[in-house]
């Protein structure tokens, strides 16, 4: 099997003997691929064509350009950013950094199927995940290690026309890849990207043994932040609206999961806002202990008021977290060691055909209680 796996399906010589157009299952690679009238290989992808509309299309298989790899996508997550593309609320659609049609998908793992010029052939066959943020690599920010906030950056499946992973294949720069150990299965692999965001937020909170942390917003990121804080030894509380999300957090072992009315008047050494609430940042500020730390990773749809006088008069440290980039390696290690196991977050794994429903907020039949839906392209 190993030898066969190293032959990417669309490079298989048997493919060229296929009459076209057709649906072709290669007997050597066993992978299904379609070809168009001119013999060009096609891949299936979920294409969002406008607010509220989209579906599965056959697109030309991506090429591995110089410095790039093509990955066979094994699993991809759907997240809040994707839902914002569905509604049309996503900021980049209005700033000109993104436009329809778009192939979404920035939380993914897969197997390298082909490499472009200048890329080590040894990548072929390796299981990988990739950084969402693709900085230009040459500007001042990139050179200083801040490629995730490069002004010229692309974001996979989000920004700059870089197709994402809700497709059978995607092409990404080899420099964005992280190899996955066997202990990181496909579910964990597609949770590395949101996990990297959460790990950075947990680290920014700086809470460990003897500290008490509060996480506002028990969604995917909130639960992940709580898990990383718990792994660091902190006493973790969660704050959310009444309902299923808090119940789910309790099922993960977070018994201190409160509504605002129930929240006990305890000193919190760190407060992490993972919500999209307009008033949540000010609430976080009102709840944190003097000398403590505030972390902002949730994005509201409107400006959020915050009185900086309260910030400095309490000698607080406030940190914003945009991306997973600097935290991906550590997240993979935490999953591989079992220190953090976020797999219960995944409620269901669906097909590309089901993505529109998921984006519209309809829960798949038989879905579990978790906040995350995965796609098997
Ligand atoms: Zn995401
Ligand atoms: Zn740059």
Proximal ligand: closest to the CA of 83: 1
Instruction: Give distance in angstroms: CA of 107 to centre of ligand 1.
Output: 6
Q: How far is the CA of 195 from the centre of ligand 2 (A)?
A: 24
Separation of 78 CA from ligand 1 center, angstroms? 7
pLDDT in tens, 248-262: 999 999 999 999 999
CA of 25 to the centre of ligand 2 (A): 41
Find the 133 Cα to ligand 2 centroid distance in Å.
10
Compute the distance between CA of residue 83 and CA of residue 97 in angstroms, rounded to an integer. 17
Ligand 2 centroid to Cα of residue 154, in Å, is 10
What's the CA-to-centroid distance between 366 and ligand 2, angstroms? 44
Q: Which ligand is nearest to the CA of 219?
A: 1
* CB-CB contact of 274 with 213 (8 Å): no
**Which sign, positive or negative, has the C-alpha torsion 85, 89, 94, 97?**
negative
User: Distance between CA atoms of 358 and 48, rounded to whole angstroms?
Assistant: 12
Does residue 27 sit within a domain? no
The answer as to whether 23 is a domain residue is: no
Q: How many domains does the chain have?
A: 2
Closest ligand (CA of 82): 1
Same domain for 355 and 370, yes or no, is: yes
What's phi and psi for 374, nearest 5 deg? -105, 155
Q: Specify whether 166 is located in the same domain as 133.
A: yes
User: Is the separation of the CB atoms in 150 and 135 below 8 Å?
Assistant: yes
**pLDDT value for 4:** 37
The reply to whether 181 and 205 lie within a common domain is no
**Structure-token pair, residue 337:** 């060691």
pTM metric for this prediction: 0.91
- Identify which ligand lies nearest to the alpha carbon of 155: 1
CATH of the domain at 213: 3.40.50.720
Indicate whether 72 and 185 sit together in one domain.
yes
Q: Where are the extended beta strands (E) located within the chain? A: 22-25, 32-35, 41-50, 53-60, 68-78, 107-115, 127-130, 133-134, 154-155, 169-173, 177-179, 212-216, 235-239, 257-258, 268-273, 288-296, 317-320, 346-350, 372-375
Give residue 256's domain range. Answer: 198-322
Ligand located closest to 137 CA: 2
Which phi and psi (to 5°) does residue 55 adopt?
-175, 180
Q: Is residue 152 part of a domain?
A: yes
Q: Are residues 206 and 187 in the same domain?
A: no
- Structural domain includes residue 217: yes
CB atoms within 10 A of CB 243: 10
Instruction: Give the distance (Å) from ligand 2 centre to CA of residue 27.
Output: 44
Quote the ligand 2 centre to 136 CA distance (angstroms): 4
Q: Which ligand is nearest to the CA of 154?
A: 2
User: 103 and 206 share a domain?
Assistant: no
Ligand 1 centroid–CA 330 distance in Å is 18
45 C-alpha to center of ligand 1: Å? Answer: 18
The three-class DSSP label of residue 244 is helix
* CATH number, residue 346: 3.90.180.10
Kindly identify the ligand whose nearest atom is closest to the C-alpha of 140: 2
Longest dimension (CA), the chain: 74
**Could you report the per-residue pLDDT of 94-134, keeping only the tens digit for each?**
999 999 999 999 999 999 999 999 999 999 999 999 999 99
Residues 81 and 177 in one domain: yes
- Domain-embedded: residue 73: yes
Residue 103: the pLDDT is: 98
Find the ligand nearest to 143 CA.
2
**Which pLDDT value is given to residue 30?**
57
Q: Which residues of the chain carry a pLDDT beneath 50?
A: 1-11, 13-21
């Amino acid at each position: 099997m190993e030898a066969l796996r190293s032959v990417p399906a669309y490079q298989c010589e048997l493919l060229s003997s296929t009459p076209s157009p057709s649906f072709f299952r290669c007997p050597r690679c066993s992978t299904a691929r379609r070809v168009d009238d001119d013999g060009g290989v096609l891949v299936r992808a979920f294409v969002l064509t406008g607010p509220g509309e989209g579906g599965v299309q056959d697109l030309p298989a991506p090429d591995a350009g110089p410095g790039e790899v093509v990955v066979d996508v094994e699993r991809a997550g759907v997240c809040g950013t994707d839902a914002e593309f569905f509604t049309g609320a996503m900021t980049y659609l209005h700033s000109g950094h993104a436009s329809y049609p778009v192939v979404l998908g920035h939380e993914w793992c897969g197997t390298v199927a082909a490499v472009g010029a200048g890329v080590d052939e040894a990548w072929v066959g390796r299981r990988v995940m990739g950084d969402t943020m693709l900085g230009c690599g040459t500007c001042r920010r990139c050179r200083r290690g801040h490629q995730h906030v490069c002004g010229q950056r692309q974001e996979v499946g989000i920004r700059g026309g870089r197709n994402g992973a809700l497709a059978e294949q995607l092409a990404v720069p080899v420099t964005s890849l992280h190899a996955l150990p066997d202990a990181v299965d496909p579910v964990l692999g597609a949770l590395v990207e949101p996990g990297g965001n959460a790990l950075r937020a947990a680290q920014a909170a700086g809470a460990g043994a003897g500290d008490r942390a509060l996480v506002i917003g028990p969604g995917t990121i909130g639960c992940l932040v709580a898990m990383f804080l718990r792994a660091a030894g902190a006493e973790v509380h969660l704050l959310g609206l009444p309902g299923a999300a808090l119940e789910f957090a309790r099922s993960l072992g977070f018994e201190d999961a409160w509504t605002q009315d129930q929240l006990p008047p305890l000193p919190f050494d760190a407060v992490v806002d993972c919500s999209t609430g307009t008033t949540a940042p000010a609430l976080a500020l009102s709840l944190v202990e003097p000398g403590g730390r505030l972390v902002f990773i949730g994005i509201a749809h409107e400006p959020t008021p915050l009185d900086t006088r309260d910030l400095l008069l309490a000698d607080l440290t406030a940190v914003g977290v945009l991306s997973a980039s600097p935290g991906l390696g550590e997240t993979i290690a935490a999953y591989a060691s079992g220190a953090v196991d976020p797999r219960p977050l995944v409620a269901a794994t669906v097909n590309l055909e089901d993505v529109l429903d998921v984006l519209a907020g309809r829960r798949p039949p038989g879905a579990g209680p978790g906040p995350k839906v995965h796609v098997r392209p």
